[in-house]
């Protein structure tokens, strides 16, 4: 915890406070919902779109995209990481969502979206705190960023519609096409990804790597948390009157998420030990597998299902659960390292 900044150290607390502020605004100032709904262009809520894009930008500037070629040479661990992120993880989250949220199709879809959005942001924090291989983690983040651009829309269509229908589960009531999801991914991941790549290249040529790492990145890093908190306040202000009636729904969503984050970490780390991975690389793979890109999940849920949807609500609960669980896992894995496990 001492390695985290003041903002990151109490991230769960800030998220809780943001939720409470949003609920209070929506409940005690009901006209705010109507006013905010007017700030919409087509299916895109402009303030939320800006907030979500800003939220994604700093983590994507931090990624060293030149690490991908070197990373691809580690075929065994890379293959295992890809299986975890794009086969095992989505399937585990799908099963948990079906089991625990069978009677809540909107929440179920929102939780599934979280499972499909692979981590590209906070994993760098968790990995550093656990003394993992920073370059390896950055390479995996870059690789997952590319995979999400290419495959997220297809995965969302399969896991939200094809697979539920195949096992006889009622799907969501809104029409969803691959093009709608692809558009959301390109806006909320493509724009900040392109901006991150361009920013990184320009600064490296203009000021050099030392200025990028020591000056620019520390200055923009708080933007992720600030944008996340403002987005949460905005979302909950639109649902304030409803949220006070469904506090137990947060716990319903939290249960499968808690099981997922924990299971993915221990499955990944355990298999890494079996195949002989070194601690730094194994740690990077494990936290990449356990974490999820809740920013993208929230963005897609809002763009496709609407800001007042259960899917968007489930997406907001995601970071509230992920942060304390992964902080606990950081402590566990550091204890393992100190004992030579």
Split at pLDDT 50, 70, 90, the class of 6 is: low
> What's the average model confidence in pLDDT over 11-25?
81
Percentage of the chain modeled with pLDDT above 90: 22
Split at pLDDT 50, 70, 90, the class of 121 is: low
Higher pLDDT among residues 97 and 69, named by residue: 97
pLDDT, residue 114, reads 93
Higher pLDDT among residues 72 and 78, named by residue: 78
pLDDT above 60 for 262: yes
| Residue whose structure tokens are 């007042």 | 308
pTM confidence score: 0.78
pLDDT, residue 265, reads 94
pLDDT above 90 for 80: no
Tell me if 133 sits within 8 A of 67, measured CB to CB. Answer: no
Range name among 25-29, 159-163, 217-221, 264-268 with the lowest pLDDT average: 25-29
C-beta neighbour count of 216 within 10 angstroms? 16
pLDDT, residue 113, reads 92
pLDDT above 70 for 176: no
Domains of the chain, first to last:
60-215+249-338 (1.20.1530.20)
Split at pLDDT 50, 70, 90, the class of 98 is: very high
Q: Which 3-state string (H, E, C) describes the chain? A: CCCCCHHHHCHHHHHHHHHHHHHHHHHHCCHHHHHHHCCEECCEEHHHHHHHHHHHHHHHHHCCCCHHHHHCCCHHHHHHHHHHHHHHHHHHHHHHHHHHCCCCHHHHHHHHHHHHCECCCCHHHHHHHCCCCHHHHHHHHHHHHHHHHHHHHHHHHHHHHHHHHHCCCCCCCCCCCHHHHHHHHHHHHHHHHHHHHHHHHHHHHHCCHHHHHHHHHHHHCHHHHHHHHHHHHHHHHHCHHHHCCCHHHHHHHHHHHHHHHHHHHHHHHHHHHHCCCCHHHHHHHHHHHHCECHHHHHHHHHHHHCCCCHHHHHHHHHHHHHHHHHHHHHHHHHHHHHCCC
Split at pLDDT 50, 70, 90, the class of 7 is: low
> What's the average model confidence in pLDDT over 215-221?
90
Higher pLDDT among residues 249 and 244, named by residue: 249
- 116-125, 167-176, 224-233, 284-293 — most confident range: 284-293
């Amino acid at each position: 915890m001492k390695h985290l900044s003041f903002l990151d150290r109490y991230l769960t607390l800030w998220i809780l406070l943001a939720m409470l502020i949003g609920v209070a605004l929506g409940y005690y100032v009901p006209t705010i919902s109507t006013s905010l709904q007017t700030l919409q262009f087509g299916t895109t809520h402009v303030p939320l779109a800006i907030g979500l894009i800003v939220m994604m930008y700093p983590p994507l500037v931090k990624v060293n995209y030149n690490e991908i070629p070197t990373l691809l040479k580690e075929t065994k661990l890379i293959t295992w990481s890809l299986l975890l992120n794009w086969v095992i993880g989505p399937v585990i989250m799908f099963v948990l969502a079906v089991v625990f949220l069978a009677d809540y199709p909107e929440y179920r879809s929102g939780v599934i979206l979280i499972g499909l959005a692979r981590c590209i942001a906070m994993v760098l924090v968790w990995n550093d705190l656990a003394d993992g291989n920073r370059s390896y983690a950055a390479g995996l983040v870059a690789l997952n960023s590319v995979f999400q651009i290419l495959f997220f829309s297809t995965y969302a269509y399969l896991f939200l519609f094809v697979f539920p229908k195949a096992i006889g589960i009622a799907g969501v009531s809104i029409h969803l096409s691959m093009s709608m999801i692809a558009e959301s991914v390109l806006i909320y991941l493509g724009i900040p990804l392109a901006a991150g790549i361009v920013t990184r290249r320009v600064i490296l040529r203009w000021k050099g790597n030392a200025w990028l790492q020591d000056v620019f990145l520390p200055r923009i890093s708080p933007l992720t948390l600030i944008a996340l908190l403002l987005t949460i306040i905005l979302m909950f202000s639109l649902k304030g009157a409803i949220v006070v009636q469904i506090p137990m729904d947060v716990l319903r969503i939290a249960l499968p998420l808690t099981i997922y984050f924990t299971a993915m970490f221990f499955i990944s780390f355990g298999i890494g030990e079996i195949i002989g991975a070194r601690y730094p690389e194994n740690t990077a793979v494990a936290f990449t597998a356990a974490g999820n890109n809740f920013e993208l999940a929230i963005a897609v849920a809002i763009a496709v299902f609407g800001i007042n949807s259960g899917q968007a609500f489930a997406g907001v609960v995601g970071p509230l659960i992920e942060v304390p669980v992964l902080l606990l896992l950081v402590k566990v894995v550091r204890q393992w390292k100190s004992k030579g496990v």
